[in-house]
Amino acid sequence: SSELTQDPAVSVALGQTVRITCQGDSLRSYYASWYQQKPGQAPVLVIYGKNNRPSGIPDRFSGSSSGNTASLTITGAQAEDEADYYCNSRDSSGNHHVVFGGGTKLTVL
């Protein structure tokens, strides 16, 4: 089955731009969805589809995709963006499974 690979940790200075990446074969067929999870809370969807934000998600969050790599970009990172971020998609091999990346811990310095 397919897997999604993320860097375990990324840091960004306050107000700067950071990109979190996700790699996997399924991303050649599926847009990645992205989730933010803060300690003790359920994940929250921040990006889905080509580059769509649910209501209430700030426009500093954006998504992009190229080949087998999807990216979540935070432009002008804020202290409240410090969290774990997970990518997710359906497995494209036809087995209808769902996969999550291992997660990226974002630290805002």
Partner 1 sequence: QVQLQQWGAGLLKPSETLSLTCAVYGGSFSGYYWSWIRQPPGKGLEWIGEINHSGSTNYNPSLKSRVTISVDTSKNQFSLKLSSVTAADTAVYYCARAAEGSGSYFYYYYYMDVWGKGTTVTVSS
**Contacts with partner 1, residue ranges (CB under 8 A):** 1, 29-31, 33, 35, 37, 42-45, 48-50, 54, 84, 86, 88-90, 92, 95-103
Q: Which is nearer to partner 1, 75 or 92 (CB)?
A: 92
Residues 83, 52: contact at Cβ < 8 Å? no
Q: Which residue has the tokens 């999550």?
A: 100
Closest separation between CB of residue 4 and partner 1, Å? 10
Phi, psi of 30 (to 5 degrees): -120, 135
4-14 burial, b if ≥16 CB within 10 A, otherwise e? Answer: bebeeebebee
Q: Which is nearer to partner 1, 50 or 79 (CB)?
A: 50
Q: Which is nearer to partner 1, 33 or 81 (CB)?
A: 33
